[in-house]
Amino acid sequence: MNDNQSDTAETNPKETPDSAMDENSVMEMDPHADKYSDPRVKITRSGILMGIGVVILGIVGAAFSIYARKTKLEKTTEFWGPETILALQLAEKIQLRPLGSSDFEPVDLSGTPSLGHLRHALLDERGFDWNTQTTGSVTQMCRKPVDGLKVSCVRLRLTDPTANRIGTIDLDLDLMGGWVGPSDGSKRVQTTAWVRPKLEKYFQTIVNVQRLRADQREQ
C-alpha cells in the first residue's frame, strides 16, 4: 500500500512550495504575465495590415512635413543670382544700413535673434509675389515714414570677411511697400502680404533697440 501511494505521488506530484514561490515571483515582476498566453488574444491579418498602414502614414506625414518646410530656391536663385543666394545662406556678417529718408546708425545683425528667419524670408520663393516682378530700383518706391514708423527703407550689406566665400552684396528693402531687390537698381519684386509685416516688424524692432541703447549710453 505504501508502494502504491509512492507511485501515485510520483505520477501526480503536487506543487511544491518552491514552485509556488517561483510563480508568485514572476507574477510580482509582471502582473500581466498570465495574459500573454490568453487564447482570446489573436494576431490577425487585418491587424497586421492596420499596423503597417499606420507606419506608412507616419512616414508619409514626416516626408510631407520636411518637404513643406524645405526652402524652395528656384525662382529666388533666378532673381537674386547664385552669389546672392550663397551670401544669404553663408554670409558671416550682415549689416543693416539706412536707405532713402530713413535715419539711424548702421546695425550689425550678426548673431541677433531671428536672423535665421530673415535669411529664410529672403531665400524662399514662396515669400514673394512673382507677378509683381519688374525692372527698376527699390529706392524709387521708398517713401517717408508715416504712422509712427521709424524707418521705411533699409539696405542689407552681406560680407564674409573670414572665409571670403563671397564679395560684398547689397540688398535694398522697402518696408512699407514690401519691395526688395539688388542695390544696383536693376529689378525689384514685392514680398507677400504674409511676409511683409514680419519684415517690417523685425527691422523696426532692431532700429528701436539700437536707438534705445544709444540713448542709454548718452545718459
| Residue (of 130, 213, 204, 131) closest to 173 by Cα position | 204
Spell out the domain ranges in the chain.
15-68, 74-218
CA dist 84 and 119 (Å) reads 11
pLDDT (average), residues 53-63: 54
Of 23 and 96, the one with more pLDDT: 96
Query: Quick one: what percent of the chain has pLDDT higher than 90?
Result: 53
Q: For residue range 142-185, what is the model confidence (pLDDT) as tens digits?
A: 988 776 666 889 999 999 999 999 999 999 999 999 999 999 99
Residue 101's pLDDT is what? 86
Q: For residue range 64-120, what is the model confidence (pLDDT) as tens digits?
A: 444 444 579 999 999 999 999 999 999 999 999 999 888 889 999 998 888 999 999
**Model pTM greater than 0.75?**
no
Residue 34's pLDDT is what? 55
- What 8-state DSSP symbol labels residue 219? -
Q: For residue 153, give every residue at least 6 positions away whose Cβ sits within 8 Å of its Cβ, in sequence order, or none.
A: 98, 99, 100, 101, 102, 138, 139, 142, 172, 173, 174, 175, 176
Residue 66's pLDDT is what? 40
For the chain, the average pLDDT equals 79
